Amino acid sequence: HPWPESVNVTVTDKGVVSLHKLLNTLLCNKGRKYYVENDVAYSGFWKGNVQDSSAFMDSSSLTSLGFPVFTGDASGDQAGLFWGSERHIKRFETADSTPNKSSNFRELSTTVVGLEKWANKWRNKRVLYRSDNTTTVSIINRQGTMANDLILVSQAINHFCDKYNIDLASVHISGVINVLADKLSRFLRHQD
């Protein structure tokens, strides 16, 4: 059957709100740079196809193409990250810790913690973030999400990228080899 010239559709108020959220998510990154997938120098890089080994990126905090690499992980109440010789730990507020927020929220928020700490050093650069959380990797690479509890975190990441002109991508690192970031996220300081 051919489609008619016009179709009447009834959309509920909730549906209208969802459509507005989708539109805002799609348009919020209009200033961000997008790169051609078949660009020879960066072939597939922003789709998570990094040729460098985790050991190489751990030791250098760079890709072989010279892009900065930072790595993070989150526990139930803390974020742990490293970039080069720098280590960073941030305790989450009670409202953002287990059981009040999801592990996806904390894992994605860990990216924001890293950007808060180091974005000024990565101005006008491509940067790779490694996470053992596939939701975080996906949201960063898609530059947005429709998950209500993650939208504001995703927008904060986009804000830092826009402010510092950072072209951010993410790649999954197996939790088994994400040892340093995992230990940092669980590190407890004993006070006298």
Per-residue confidence (pLDDT) for residue 13, from 0 to 100: 76
> What percent of the chain has a predicted confidence (pLDDT) above 70?
76
- Of the listed ranges 43-52, 103-112, 122-131, 133-142, the least confidently predicted one is 43-52
Name the pLDDT band for 37 (thresholds 50, 70, 90). very low
Nearest residue to 80 (alpha-carbon basis) of 151, 131, 35:
131
pLDDT at 147: 92
Q: What pLDDT does 175 receive?
A: 80
3 state DSSP class of 132: coil
Strand partners, 91: 78
* Residue entry with tokens 């790779």: 128
| Whether the predicted pLDDT of 90 surpasses 50 | yes
Return the C-alpha torsion angle 179, 184, 185, 190, nearest 10: 140
Average pLDDT over residues 37-49: 46
Residue 49 reports pLDDT greater than 90: no
pLDDT band at 102 (very low <50, low <70, confident <90, very high): very high
Query: What is the C-alpha separation between 106 and 104, in angstroms, rounded?
Result: 5
180 φ, ψ (degrees, to nearest 5): -65, -50
| Euclidean distance between CA atoms 157 and 138, whole angstroms | 13
Question: What is the per-residue pLDDT for 38?
Answer: 37
Q: What is the mean pLDDT of the chain?
A: 81
Looking at per-residue confidence, does 105 or 19 come out higher? 105
Residue 183's pLDDT is what? 77
Q: What is the pLDDT of residue 187?
A: 76
**SS3 at position 159:** helix
Radius of gyration of the chain from Cα atoms?
19
In the structure, what pLDDT confidence band is assigned to residue 28 with cuts at 50, 70 and 90?
low
What does pTM read for this prediction? 0.74
